[in-house]
Amino acid sequence: MAKQRSRRRRGPRLLDLPGIWLGQHWQTALETLGRLKENPLPSAMTVAVIGISLALPAALYVMTDNLRTMAGGWDQTAAISLFLRFETDDTHAKRLSQDLATWSEISRVHLITREQALEEFRALGGFEEALEEITKNPLPIVLAIYPTPTYSTPELLEGLQDKLLKLPEADFARMDTLWLQRFQAILDLVQSGSLLLGLLLGIGVLLIVGNTIRLEILNRRIEIEIMELVGATAAFIRRPFLYAGAWYGLLGGATAWLLVTISVLLLQQPVSRLASLYRSEFQLSGLGFAATGVTLGASVLLGLIGSWIAVNRHLRGAEPQ
């Protein structure tokens, strides 16, 4: 304590300066937050508008993200399931699958024998009684065909399907992934749309913060003038307004996060029930760690930029006439 006092008496030393600077910033940050609390209603309204504006693109992101995860589970299915004629036996099918795997269009082939298919069928449940009745396995051999990535377009897959059907062993073929690809394309579209929406709403947030800060500057004209007269630097006068903008952004971002998270929690139960009806383990996920960081970071940045614009337009600094 005594040591501290003697140091203070000598005035700030160069080594202390960063600490003083940080302390000033910290103090300004707290003071601006306190000022927001002094006018709770207008501040809350500004924060709410920012929060809702940011919640919309964030919610769209969560939605597309979830749909993508859901679709990701289906990506494992083969593009084409080739059902072989019933008289084909396992050894022949095995040779055929090895043969097909050498085709340039195909990356790998998965052979599902009759017994495996029956096992899988049993595992699905609900068919046990029906299966007891049957003495002979009615299921055909299936070759699950995974095409190379370059052959995954709908047109080329169609060509491959035709080619496969010309094989003497082929009975019929089913394309599984076409709809999935369409679904992915729609997801891409929605995601681009949400990016665009986010951009527009981001501009909206800039305007909201800018206008709020502008009004605050006008309200505190006299104080600013006096501060300039007693030797406040432009940076000192700007600082609280920039902090106010950052606070608006941060609180708005937190509001957006809260809105999205509450919505996700409310939807979790019904979505899980729906998923279980489709025998899926799918769980709705909210804004992840990274997405939360991006939301908060972007909102703080928007608040800062918005106030920066207002401050630059309306605070000229200690400029004599």
Partner 1 sequence: MIRFENVFKRYPERGEALGSVNLEVQAGEMVFLTGHSGAGKSTMLRLIGLIERPTRGQIVVNGRNLATLPRRQIPFYRREVGMIFQDHRLLPDRSVFDNVAMPLVVAGVGQKEIGRRVRAALDQVGLLSRERATPVALSGGEQQRVGIARAVVGRPPVLVADEPTGNLDPDLSREIFELFERFHYVGVTLMIATHDLNLVKSMRHRTLTLDAGRLVNDTGDW
Residues engaged in binding partner 1 (CB under 8 A): 8, 12, 20, 24, 222-223, 225-234, 236, 317-321
Min separation Cβ 38 and partner 1, Å: 11
Task: Pick the closer one to partner 1 by CB: 233 or 276.
Answer: 233
Task: Pick the closer one to partner 1 by CB: 1 or 123.
Answer: 1
Task: Pick the closer one to partner 1 by CB: 14 or 222.
Answer: 222
Min separation Cβ 8 and partner 1, Å: 6
Identify the CA nearest to 286 among candidates 65, 93, 82, 103. 65
Residue with tokens 């709770």: 40
Task: Pick the closer one to partner 1 by CB: 35 or 68.
Answer: 35
Min separation Cβ 43 and partner 1, Å: 18
Work out the burial of residue 277: count CB atoms within 10 Å of its CB; fewer than 13 is exposed, 13-18 middle, 19 or more buried. exposed
Q: Which long-range contacts (CB under 8 A, 24 or more apart) does 29-34 make?
A: 29/243, 29/247, 31/240, 32/240, 32/243, 32/244, 32/247, 33/243, 33/247
Min separation Cβ 16 and partner 1, Å: 9
H or E stretch including 80? strand 80-84
Task: Pick the closer one to partner 1 by CB: 20 or 199.
Answer: 20
Min separation Cβ 221 and partner 1, Å: 11
- For 168-224, the DSSP string reads TTEEEEEE-SHHHHHHHHHHHHHHHHHHHHHHHHHHHHHHHHHHHHHHHHHHTHHHH
Task: Pick the closer one to partner 1 by CB: 219 or 285.
Answer: 219
Min separation Cβ 4 and partner 1, Å: 10
Question: Distance between CA atoms of 306 and 215, rounded to whole angstroms?
Answer: 13
What type of residue sits at position 301? L
Min separation Cβ 19 and partner 1, Å: 10
Question: Distance between CA atoms of 28 and 40, rounded to whole angstroms?
Answer: 18
Question: Distance between CA atoms of 85 and 182, rounded to whole angstroms?
Answer: 31
Task: Pick the closer one to partner 1 by CB: 11 or 149.
Answer: 11
